[in-house]
Amino acid sequence: MKGVTILGATGSIGVSTLEVMARHPERYRAVALTAHRDVEGLYRQCLQFRPAYAVMAEEAAAAQLASRLKVACPETRVLAGTAGLEEVATLPEADCVMAAIVGAAGLLPTLAAARAGKRVLLANKEALVMAGRLFMDEVRDHGAELLPIDSEHNAIFQCLPPRDGCALAARGVRRILLTSSGGPFLRRRVEELATVTPEEACAHPNWAMGRKISVDSATMMNKGLEVIEACWLFAAAPDEVAVVIHPQSVVHSMVEYVDGSVLAQLASPDMRVPIAHALAWPERIESGAETLDLFAVARLDFEPPDLERFPCLAYAYEAARRGGTAAAILNAANEVAVAAFLAGEIAFTAIPRVIAATLDALPARTAAALSDILDDDRAAREHARDLVRRYKGS
């Protein structure tokens, strides 16, 4: 039986992971579950799965959870903060770690899991976006196993020949085709985007996701971050990763080979599919997702992205080409801008303005250590917050 730590257990990926594990109680057990501030959600999960550890990112939330579990689930030890997250990411009894904390907050515990040589199921794309070279070096140096959970990267993983760290061309690959639904505003007139609401931006047509990632999908920054992630995961140059709009979300990504072959992975838009694949790899287990009905789908459409409608995608490619800490700056500015939009402080169209201005203002540098990345992340957040104050109401 494999022990599993889930970083971000109460989010959509964490919930789906527990659903897959519950279908196979003879194969998996929850060693540790973590959450940011959702005490009620983590409390219910602890009662059901009885983990040895539970972690709340916030001290006050941890104290509240510990009080509630003292009688109801006394075998669960409650920890708090980044130190607690890193501790459960490195537990000897945890064979694999689901890294599903959203945003930069997931970087340090995910790095800790890699340094502990775990099988890391990577749903936190920011770990690679912010610290790609450092993270991949830690995976290699400590013998960790890295399996992607994003449906697109999981699809690419399945369509590529066995990974050996060499460049795509050496494996007979011409390019990676990263698919995107186009989000809720694919057909919305560009001039109407300034008035969209957070509720509209979070109404994804195909996927059920958290609010931050839903907004990223609406701006296509999520796809831009996935381009950067793909470059690190598959030793690809930015120009070897092409984004393809595919509204049906049935083809999760494709790999084009030099002989003209294109391999694609198809499935229903359900995150339990890549989660089950990564949990059991190289075996296959039942995920609970509906089997894809191609007759019901009937058609598959593909088109190139419109960068006027989705400027965030262009900024992500720019950051990928710059290298160094540019992607960390991009990610930090985006997190600040999206939070401000969700709080009603800025318009949807101000998100790319904040990102572009932050990238222009802060020069990227080579990241010799994690501290360089974290320093530039902080500087970018400060600059982006200044811009939010300037753009407030616009």
| pLDDT value for 394 | 61
pLDDT of res. 175: 97
Q: Give CA–CA dist 355/358, Å, rounded.
A: 5
Q: At 52, which amino acid appears?
A: A
- Could you tell me if residue 197 is left (phi over 0), alpha (psi between -120 and 50 degrees) or otherwise beta? beta
Radius of gyration for the alpha carbons in the chain, expressed in angstroms and rounded:
20
DSSP class per residue in 30-42 = EEEEEESS-HHHH
First to last CA, the chain: 54
The string of pLDDT tens digits covering residues 341-362 is 999 999 999 999 999 999 999 9
Give, in degrees to the nearest 5, the angle at Cα 132 between 131 and 134. Answer: 70
pLDDT for 124: 87
Which H helix or E strand runs over 318? Answer: helix 311-322
pLDDT at residue 162 in the model: 79
Sequence-separated (6 or more) residues with CB below 8 Å from residue 283 = none
Note the CATH number of domain 2-148. 3.40.50.720
Sign, CA torsion 59/385/131/182: positive
* Domain 2-148 and domain 323-391 have a common topology: no
Residue type, 290: E
pTM of the model: 0.91
Domain ranges of the chain: 2-148, 156-191+204-297, 323-391
Two tokens, residue 378: 């902080």
Return the pLDDT at 391.
Answer: 86
**What does the pLDDT read at residue 126?**
82
d(C-alpha 332, C-alpha 236), whole Å: 23
- Burial bucket for residue 145 (CB in 10 Å: 0-12, 13-18, 19+): middle
Q: What pLDDT was estimated at residue 289? A: 95
Secondary-structure breakdown of the chain: helix, strand, coil percentages, each rounded to the nearest 5: 50, 15, 35
CA distances from 202 to 187, 245, 312, 376 (A): 16, 19, 17, 29
Residue entry with tokens 């801008």: 337
Ranges of residues in the chain with a pLDDT under 70 are: 163-165, 206-208, 393-394
* Predicted pLDDT of residue 139: 96
Question: Which strands sit side by side in the sheet containing 241-245, from one edge to the other?
Answer: 241-245, 173-180, 251-257, 262-266
pLDDT of residue 211: 86
pLDDT at 52: 98
Mark 280-310 as b/e (b = at least 16 C-beta within 10 Å): bbeeeeebebeeeeeeeeeeeeeeebeeebb
CATH 1.10.1740.10 fits 323-391, yes or no: yes
Of 255, 352, 251, 257, give the one whose Cα is nearest residue 303.
251
Tell me the pairing of strands 173-180 and 251-257: antiparallel
Distance CA 264, CA 179 (A): 10
Q: What is the DSSP pairing of strand 241-245 with strand 53-56?
A: unpaired
Residue 257 in contact with residue 173, Cβ under 8 Å? yes
Of the candidates 47, 88, 313, 306, which has an alpha carbon nearest to the alpha carbon of residue 188?
306
Closest C-alpha to 338, from 246, 153, 202: 202
Task: Please give the pLDDT value at position 173.
Answer: 96
Cis peptide upstream of residue 282 (ω within 30 degrees of 0): yes
